[in-house]
Amino acid sequence: MLTLLFQLLFFAVLIPVCSYAAWCGGWPERAGAAIMVAATILTIVAATSFNPTWQGPETGIFLVDLMMLAALVNLALYSDRYWPLWVTSFHLIAVTIHLATLVDRSVAALAYANAAEFWAYPMMATLAFGTWNYHRRQRSTRKGNAARY
């Protein structure tokens, strides 16, 4: 029951944040939202296909997280914003948690699951802040023939 509440909370945060980024953001914010939504869908597929027990390293979820890390690194390299660096670093911590369970199998299942899932919330908060900052800058620049800085 508690797991269902956490999943509903995740979707209650993910949907508005990604919608806001898609609606009000520039191309980096839209790409970040698309990466997060795609990774969420692939994680659901991996979780239902491999039936994670969190007793050891979750291979399917780990592979999805590696693909998401590669996409976020690519976004951070080609973007002119700072927030993708923060999102990438938060996700790198989540990937490192997967690697820690590969090295030490005695990591408790609940600690592994909670630590891997926790970092999605700072990532979404950073995406929302980056979108807000971009939207604020766009509204504050003059329109027309004025030079844009």
58 falls in which pLDDT band (50, 70, 90)?
confident
Residue whose token pair is 């291979």: 59
- Range list of H helices, 25-58: 27-50
Single-letter amino acid, residue 141: T
Query: What CA–CA distance (Å, rounded) separates 39 from 63?
Result: 10
How far apart CA 38 and CA 96 sit, in angstroms, is: 21
Q: How far apart are the C-alpha atoms of 6 and 138, rounded to whole Å?
A: 35
Q: Is 2 a member of any domain?
A: no
Residue 88 lies in a domain: yes
Q: What is the pTM of this model?
A: 0.86
Q: Is 99 a domain residue?
A: yes
Q: What is the mean pLDDT of the chain?
A: 87
Domain membership of residue 101 (yes or no) is yes
Give Cβ neighbours of residue 116 (< 8 Å, ≥ 6 apart): 58, 61, 65, 94, 97, 98
Q: How far is CA 52 from CA 4, 10, 56, in A?
A: 15, 18, 9
Residue 92 domain-assigned? yes
Question: pLDDT at residue 141 above 90?
Answer: no
Assess if residue 84 is contained within a domain.
Answer: yes
pLDDT above 70 as % of the chain = 87
Determine the pLDDT at residue 144: 56
Looking at the domain assignment, is residue 86 inside a domain?
yes
Of 62, 53, 20, 55, give the one whose Cα is nearest residue 37. 20
- Please give the tally of structural domains in the chain: 1
Please indicate, yes or no, if residue 64 is contained in any of the structural domains: yes
